[in-house]
Amino acid sequence: MTEDATPRTTVTERAIAQIKAKIAAGELTPGQRLPTERELAAELGLSRSSMREAIRALTVLGVLEARHGAGVYVTRLSPDDLLETFGAVAEMSSGETLLHLVQVRKILEPAAAATAAARIDEDGLALLRAEMRAMERGVDSEEIVGHDMEFHRIITEAAGNPVLSAILRGLNSRTFRARVWRGLQEADAFARTFREHEAIYRALTERDPEAARIAAAVHIGAVENWARRQADADADPDADADQEQH
């Protein structure tokens, strides 16, 4: 079968896989300029149109970077670069997808907190304490969200795994956290949330990984409950209307 008779998606996926294989093998390294579209297509035995689609897809994913007038380059391939698209998806998600993303966070964030309990230093603990107090003094949701993000960032950074940190940053974007805090505000749950932060902080100061894991799981569990209510409301919008009437 000729390439022209092959479904376009399959050919493009093959081109993407071959470029990724060259990067994985070290034939293309971070910061290196790709051969021209024509050269790369000839080397890999594919059409230029397939190669163009593959390069475009890898650029969207952050693996490649098109520089105006200079060609296409392999990016630094840092976790932040590669997970940027994931973060954008998380921000825009709703319904069951939003719930599933929160459930992923419920798996990862307690693990990060447990690891951080053994690694965080006194400076990190002092920063956490300052963010907690600033959060409680916050006068508007924007300010509270900023301190909340920083609180969780300090913990995940202390865990010492940049990929884990990047994934959790994607799951904990400012837009997403603002939505959660609005829901907490409507449910009058600020005090409970502050207590949950206090429990996480206390476990970290005691260098107790299991207590930190449990405290973080309880905290994310409250967010999961909010996300489940959102998913239920999206699945049955008439239920909210009926509830309001009663």
Give the SS3 label for residue 33: strand
6 pLDDT exceeds 50?
no
* Architecture, CATH, for domain 3-77: Orthogonal Bundle (1.10)
Q: Given the DSSP bridges, would you call strands 64-67 and 71-74 parallel, antiparallel or unpaired?
A: antiparallel
189 pLDDT exceeds 80?
no
Residue 7 has what pLDDT? 47
183 pLDDT exceeds 90?
no
143-173 as b/e: b if 16+ CB within 10 A = ebbbbbbbbbbbbbbbbebeebbbbbbbbbb
Cβ–Cβ under 8 Å, residues 224 and 99: yes
Tell me if the domain spanning 82-235 has CATH number 2.40.30.30: no
Query: What does the alpha-carbon distance between residue 85 and residue 209 come to, in Å, rounded to a whole number?
Result: 31
Asked whether this chain's domains 3-77 and 82-235 adopt the same fold, the reply is: no
Scanning the structure block, which residue is given the tokens 């093959």?
Answer: 14
Residue 177 has what pLDDT? 76
Query: What does the alpha-carbon distance between residue 195 and residue 201 come to, in Å, rounded to a whole number?
Result: 10
| Mean pLDDT estimate for the chain | 85
**Domain residues of the chain, as ranges?**
3-77, 82-235
- What lies within 8 Å, CB to CB, of 7 at 6+ separation is none
Q: What is the per-residue pLDDT across 58-89, written as a single tens digit (0 to 9) for each? A: 988 888 999 988 999 998 877 776 666 666 66
Q: What is the per-residue pLDDT across 211-224, written as a single tens digit (0 to 9) for each? A: 999 999 999 998 88
Query: What does the alpha-carbon distance between residue 47 and residue 26 come to, in Å, rounded to a whole number?
Result: 24
End-to-end CA distance of the chain: 65
Kindly indicate the confidence band of residue 124, based on its pLDDT and cuts at 50, 70 and 90.
very high
Give me the phi and psi of 65, to 5 degrees please: -135, 125
Tell me the residue type at 42.
Answer: A
Q: What is the per-residue pLDDT across 132-144, written as a single tens digit (0 to 9) for each? A: 999 888 877 788 8
Residue 71 has what pLDDT? 92
43 pLDDT exceeds 60?
yes
What is the model's pTM? 0.71
Token code pair at residue 15: 């081109």
